[in-house]
Structure 1
């Protein structure tokens, strides 16, 4: 497995509230973490950083080679709960940070399986021999409108309330996150990103990039693409390749 992650401030924002980390385990498995903070410049930066630190610590300390699938799921969900508690605790220490939070998408590729846990509107896409599909569902107001048939996916991409998310890490005592697992065979690729990329991205466009680039170059080119479209938000990309 190969993992890489990149983040960029974009063309408009004065600070980068996104953060990402990635790595590999001793058995060759790989992991990525992507967070997109909210709650003002300082609050967003702190929430995403605190959450990412907590998740990375929980994953790297508790993962062991050849874990059962249920055990991988459990450490991911516990890691996000740890992150939720850590962000809440940090906000309680400083009232100015009250209400800060972050999206989270965590990926672990191990034993031919891709595990995904997420909360918020940061996404994960999976590329297989059959093409590219989005394997997370945005926890957002506009996604609810799409599911109800009120607007289309294209309309959601430019909706004025597209930044309203319905699940977030660090705001409430309990956080609800989704989990899914998928076959991850040689040649497959998982790509996690913040909405700074996904707001500009259609699946055919993503497939085109994946077909022409890989690894660090793929991340760089996708960030360049988002910035060429306006770069209205921070842009973060994390990739796991089953090479």
Structure 2
């Protein structure tokens, strides 16, 4: 699906892939306040017994509800203060984390569920970005593709601490051991980054089902075809499936006209 408003064009899709029996990814693309605010989210659930699917769906819904509430509050007299994007996204993911933990405690079969998340909240060419886990955000300004987020994984932590080198990092089978996730701890540290949404810049949100099958160069080549966002989303997903489709694949793109 592609949506265009006066400021931005965005598109996204999620796919089961070629191997998994169900899709534990969820995506969300929502506009608020007469199209002035855009919320984009990708979540990749884990937990077994359908727990991952439930976790990712709950999380995107929780985040959307909190943002909607913040928009209503802003329009009821508080207004949009300078750090509204940052504080709202932080509040949304914090609340989602606590609500997911509450659901774990209420439902025994879902006690192990958790999910990654990567989210953009956009208004007036300003972006707030936050993530937990190994779902990523990239920035593409042709021809340059840049990974904005750093994966929250055990391996990445060991690499940052100097306990393993790049060769050991690349060779390890432990890449999917995430160190942060929604639902993993009530005291998890959540950070939000502020970005300027420059003209002719595209942001890509994706689950690891894309990046497990395609490297950055392969993603970059598809983006450089300069097709519509919907065609680009489909091309990325199809290419990931052609390269094995070993996991669920989710991609959301947003471009500043």
Return the TM-score normalized by structure 1: 0.91
Give the count of matched residue pairs: 242
What is aligned with 1:37? 45
Q: Does 1:81 align with 2:88?
A: no
Q: Does 1:138 align with 2:151?
A: yes
Contact 2:85 2:122 in 1 (8 A): no
1:99 is displaced (CA, Å) by: 2.1
Q: Name the SS for the 2:50 alignment partner.
A: helix
Instruction: Work out the CA distance in 2 between the residues paired with 1:151 and 1:41.
Output: 36
1:142 is displaced (CA, Å) by: 2.1
Taking the TM superposition and a 5 Å limit, the aligned residue runs for 1:182-197 are 182-197=195-210
Instruction: Work out the CA distance in 2 between the residues paired with 1:38 and 1:153.
Output: 28
Instruction: Work out the CA distance in 2 between the residues paired with 1:117 and 1:153.
Output: 29
Q: Does 1:70 align with 2:83?
A: yes
- Runs (4 or more) in structure 1 with deviation over 4 Å come to none
Aligned counterpart for 1:104 among listed residues 93, 112, 117: 117
Contact 1:119 1:168 in 2 (8 A): yes
Q: Name the SS for the 1:47 alignment partner.
A: helix
Gaps of 5+ in 2: 1-7
Taking the TM superposition and a 5 Å limit, the aligned residue runs for 1:153-192 are 156=170, 159-192=172-205
What is aligned with 2:30? 23
Taking the TM superposition and a 5 Å limit, the aligned residue runs for 1:180-219 are 180-212=193-225, 213-219=227-233
Instruction: Work out the CA distance in 2 between the residues paired with 1:105 and 1:162.
Output: 18
Distance 1:144-1:17 versus aligned 2 partners, 3 A rule: same
Q: Does 1:12 align with 2:28?
A: no
Give the number of the structure whose alpha-carbon radius of gyration is greater.
2
Instruction: Work out the CA distance in 2 between the residues paired with 1:121 and 1:106.
Output: 12
1:223 is displaced (CA, Å) by: 0.6
Question: Per-residue displacement from partner, 1:124-170 (whole Å, max 9, x unpaired)?
Answer: 001125711111110001222443372438954x6311110000111
Return the TM-score normalized by structure 2: 0.87
The CA RMSD over aligned residues, in Å, is: 2.1
What is aligned with 1:115? 128
1:238 is displaced (CA, Å) by: 0.8
Contact 2:125 2:198 in 1 (8 A): yes
1:211 is displaced (CA, Å) by: 1.5
1:110 is displaced (CA, Å) by: 2.1
Instruction: Work out the CA distance in 2 between the residues paired with 1:241 and 1:149.
Output: 39
Q: Does 1:224 align with 2:238?
A: yes
Instruction: Work out the CA distance in 1 between the residues paired with 2:43 and 2:65.
Output: 15
